[in-house]
Amino acid sequence: MKSLEQLTDPVFYIMAALAKPKHGYAVMSLVEETTNGAFVIGPATLYTIIKKLLAEELIVLHDASDSRRKVYVLTEKGRTVLEKDIERRKIMLTLAEKELTKGD
């Protein structure tokens, strides 16, 4: 995750889920449910990425955490990065659809 540009898919999903405070397990559940099981983030992926996001200060441990559940939420910086990545992804989709339909 060089310098925060180009979020990978799992990173994007996790950050999107953490736009609102959630604990890790809830992130896994949300993604799995929302995608009808098409996208599953396992614990290894989840906690590896959470560790990175904390280090990059894109998320923080939220007050509401207790010893059992650790609640995280996007920082302002994280929100900005996510919003920028949403734009990038929209441009990607535009390009793809243009190429697919162009001409025929």
Q: Which residues lie near a copy of itself (CB under 8 A)?
A: 5-6, 8-9, 12-13, 15-17, 19-20, 31, 34-35, 38-39, 79, 82-83, 86, 88-93, 95-97, 99-100, 102-103
According to DSSP, the residues that pair with 71 across neighbouring strands are 23
According to DSSP, the residues that pair with 61 across neighbouring strands are 72
Q: Minimal distance in Å, beta carbon 68 to DNA?
A: 5
Closer residue to a copy of itself in complex, CB, 17/53:
17
Quick one: CA dihedral 8, 45, 75, 34, positive or negative? positive
Reading phi first (left if > 0) and then psi (alpha if -120 to 50, else beta), residue 89 is in: alpha
Interface residue list for DNA (CB under 7 A): 1-2, 6, 8-11, 23-26, 29, 41-45, 47-52, 68-71
